[in-house]
């Protein structure tokens, strides 16, 4: 496994890590989660991503129970959580980063995990209705109290990250260290353009999500939406709406490129994310052990992503990228 610093931070994360979104609490139980964590851990994965809102808190409970069952050395792995969406409907309990919400959120999360601290804590989204200074103080207080080791953001604009960092710097508070953006072959601009100055200026680390663009890049939707697949499920209409049919179709072009390199389209898509040196870790999901193994093998593909290969990928996806950039 390759390990990378979390931006400029001294802590290192495995280039591929394991997320629990749409996984724990809904599809798999504790034993299965433990088996998955163990398999990933044994192959060198040291970061397990989570969030308060995943499966309404159950994802944290199951990961915590699985970690306890495995008895892994606490200093050998990192666990994250994220706050913003909330677990309740109250005016101060959802879609917010106000101090009241955040202070009870970290306590609730640690209780569900059964941990004394999380390694990484993220503001899951920006909150335009809470002053940045209030957010920075609350996140600083989580680190100062030892409940978290590093704090960061997820899906924040460069300006928002910059503002939070500057407030922390000016007031001698703990600074945000990492951002968790969506990043894949079809969503590149934020990571590659918008954040460009932040890597050098503030040492921003990235823990990217959705390397397969919700599975699109595996190519399984290239010829239509198979029954039982995620895009066919009720409740996922929003996901389907994000990808016009032409985009789905165009993903078929990745297949021959991947096959030439002895890999699958999914592995190619994951490896392409890892190739970016500004990415600290690519968070992948897996509901089956075979899927995990396939994902992790993407690391072997990274050195094969030569300039000609990258050019071929860009050419194949150019129309889809153009569509996505014009698509809300």
For the annotated catalytic residues, the residue numbers are 54
> Which lies closer to a second copy via its Cβ, residue 21 or residue 137?
137
> Which lies closer to a second copy via its Cβ, residue 96 or residue 210?
96
The DSSP result for 266-287, as a single string, is HHHHHHHHHHSTTEEEEEE--S
Q: Which stretch binds a second copy (CB under 8 A): 168-176, 276-284, 292-300, 318-326?
A: 168-176
Shortest reach from residue 165's CB to a second copy, in Å:
12
Count helices and strands (H / E) in the chain: 14, 10
Q: What's the token pair of residue 90?
A: 């109250």
Shortest reach from residue 140's CB to a second copy, in Å:
10
How many residues make up the chain in this entry? 328
Distance of CA 137 to the CA centre of its chain: 24
Element (H, E) at 12: strand 12-14
Give residues with Cβ within 8 angstroms of 215, minimum separation 6: 221, 229, 230, 231
Residue 192 DSSP symbol:
I
- Residue 38 contacts a second copy per CB under 8 A: no
Shortest reach from residue 268's CB to a second copy, in Å:
26
Q: What's the token pair of residue 181?
A: 């953006």
Shortest reach from residue 301's CB to a second copy, in Å:
21
Backbone angles phi, psi at 167, to 5 degrees: -65, -45
> Which lies closer to a second copy via its Cβ, residue 138 or residue 253?
138
Q: Binding to a second copy (CB under 8 A): which residues in 44-103?
A: 46, 73-76, 78, 88, 90-93, 96-101, 103
* Among the listed residues 127, 160, 179, 294, the single contact to a second copy using CB under 8 A: 127
Contact present, 43 and 14 (Cβ < 8 Å): no
Q: Binding to a second copy (CB under 8 A): which residues in 282-311?
A: none
SS (H, E, C) 294-323: HHHCHHHHHHHCCHHHHHHHHHHHHHHHHH
> Which lies closer to a second copy via its Cβ, residue 46 or residue 295?
46
* Among the listed residues 29, 144, 259, 311, the single contact to a second copy using CB under 8 A: 144
Q: Using CB under 8 A as the criterion, which residues of the chain lie in contact with a second copy when the complex forms?
A: 3, 5, 8-12, 14, 46, 73-76, 78, 88, 90-93, 96-101, 103-104, 119, 127, 129-131, 134-135, 137, 141, 144-146, 149-150, 171-174, 203
């Amino acid at each position: 496994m390759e390990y990378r610093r979390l931006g400029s931070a001294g802590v290192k994360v495995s280039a591929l890590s394991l997320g629990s979104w749409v996984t724990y609490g809904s599809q798999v139980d504790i034993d299965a989660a433990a088996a998955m964590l163990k398999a990933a851990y044994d192959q060198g994965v040291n970061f397990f991503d989570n969030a308060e809102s995943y499966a309404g808190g159950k994802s944290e409970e199951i990961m915590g129970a699985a970690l306890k069952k495995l008895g892994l050395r606490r200093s050998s792995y990192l666990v994250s959580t994220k706050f913003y969406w909330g677990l309740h409907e109250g005016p101060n309990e959802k879609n917010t980063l106000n101090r009241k919400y955040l202070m009870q959120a970290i306590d609730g999360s640690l209780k569900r995990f059964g941990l004394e601290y999380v390694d990484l804590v993220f503001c899951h989204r920006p909150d335009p209705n809470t002053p940045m200074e209030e957010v920075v103080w609350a996140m600083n207080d989580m680190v100062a109290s030892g409940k978290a080791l590093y704090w960061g953001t997820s899906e924040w604009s460069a300006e928002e990250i910059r503002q939070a960092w500057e407030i922390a710097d000016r007031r001698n508070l703990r600074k945000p260290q990492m951002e968790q953006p969506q990043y894949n072959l079809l969503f590149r601009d934020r990571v590659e353009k918008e954040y460009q100055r932040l890597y050098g200026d503030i040492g921003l680390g990235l823990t990217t999500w959705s390397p397969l663009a919700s599975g699109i890049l595996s190519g399984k939707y290239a010829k239509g939406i198979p029954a039982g697949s995620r895009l066919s499920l009720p409740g996922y209409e929003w996901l389907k709406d994000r990808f016009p049919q032409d985009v789905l179709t165009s993903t078929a072009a990745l297949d021959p490129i991947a096959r030439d390199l002895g890999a699958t389209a999914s592995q190619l898509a994951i490896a392409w994310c890892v190739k970016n040196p500004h990415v600290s870790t690519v968070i992948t999901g897996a509901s089956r052990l075979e899927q995990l193994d396939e994902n992790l093998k993407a690391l072997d593909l990274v050195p094969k992503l030569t300039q000609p290969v990258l050019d071929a990928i860009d050419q194949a996806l150019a129309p889809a990228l153009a569509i996505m950039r014009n698509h809300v």
